[in-house]
Amino acid sequence: MSVSCNLVLGDFAADLLRQSLGPYADIRIHQDDLTLGPLNDIDHVYPASRIQFWNEVFPLSSFDFSDVLPAGNAQLAALPEDLTLWIGTSCGEALLLRRLAWWRYQKGQSFKLIIPDTTGVSSYVAGQVALSLISPEQIESACGERLSHAQLQKLAQEWQDLCQQKSTFRGWNGQTFQYLTETALDTEMLALITDNYLPCRQIAGLWMQAAKGFFRSDVLAMWRLRCLAAQGLIEMESHPDQHDLYAFKVRKK
């Protein structure tokens, strides 16, 4: 199972893959969560609108998005010809597959695709199993094949179509992508908030459990609560550090 370069989405997937390929395997980690945020300028040298989005969503992140996102593009441009993409069946990984196909198609290069069997693996979102949730045994038994020119072209075109969509949130049912708006997600959030104060932890937990198509994080919940408060639709018990989701309670205004 020796290949020169392996690409995965996220640190946890890389840790799992390293268990099977060994500590000296060349494993590259792509960091961007493609399920969220604008895609219109994502492949630009400096994706300004995407950087602005992530700064608003995650203002206290340890990442400097003005560095991390351009670095991700530079990574995709510099990947060696002998490349294997390892993915599960999550929305983010389905998007990375198409994004990588677009980058490789521009260079006239393909890559090997490996999607391990996810049978019997539980997940946060029905029907989606990220590579990081797969067992080492499933990784070791997996095999793949190099994408044909026709497959590469089809996936690259799908990525171009995705980048033209205006929606901020993308879901995946295993075959097609769905497009969600902030309004739809906020409507779900507001339905959980009552006239009496409830802990934001409780609201966020219920909202995250209702995820369809993509994994909802506490960071995403924090952002939408801050936006609802800024719009005057909800009232916070106090005004502490509003980036700390669990420091306050909230009710309808």
State which amino acid sits at residue 18: R
Pairing of strands 5-9, 27-30: parallel
Lowest mean pLDDT segment, chosen from 108-122, 182-196, 202-216: 202-216
Q: C-alpha angle with apex 128: 177 to 101, nearest 5 degrees?
A: 55
Instruction: Give me the number of domains the chain comprises.
Output: 2
Burial of 35 (0-12, 13-18, 19+ CB in 10 A): buried
Helix (H) or strand (E) holding 224: helix 218-230
Select from 126, 146, 172 the last residue of a domain: 172
Q: Which domain holds residue 125?
A: 5-172
pLDDT of residue 242: 55
61 and 17 housed in the same domain: yes
Select from 148, 172, 196 the last residue of a domain: 172
Cα 120 from chain centre: 23
pLDDT, tens digit (0-9, with 9 covering 90-100), for 160-188: 999 999 888 998 888 899 888 889 889 99
pLDDT bracket for residue 209 (50, 70, 90): confident
Q: Which residue has the higher pLDDT, 62 or 151?
A: 151
pLDDT of residue 62: 86
Mean model confidence pLDDT for the chain: 90
The DSSP annotation for 64-117 comes to -HHHHHHHHHHHHHH--SSEEEE--SSHHHHHHHHHHHHHHHHHT---EEE---
106: Cβ–Cβ under 8 A, 6 or more apart, which residues?
Answer: 156
pLDDT, tens digit (0-9, with 9 covering 90-100), for 91-106: 999 999 999 999 999 9
153 and 100 housed in the same domain: yes
pLDDT of residue 248: 83
164 and 229 housed in the same domain: no
Cα 72 from chain centre: 13
24: Cβ–Cβ under 8 A, 6 or more apart, which residues?
Answer: none
Q: Which of 118, 62, 109 is nearest to 90 (CA)?
A: 118
Q: Which of 158, 168, 131 is nearest to 30 (CA)?
A: 131
Domain containing residue 231: CATH number: 1.10.10
22 and 88 housed in the same domain: yes
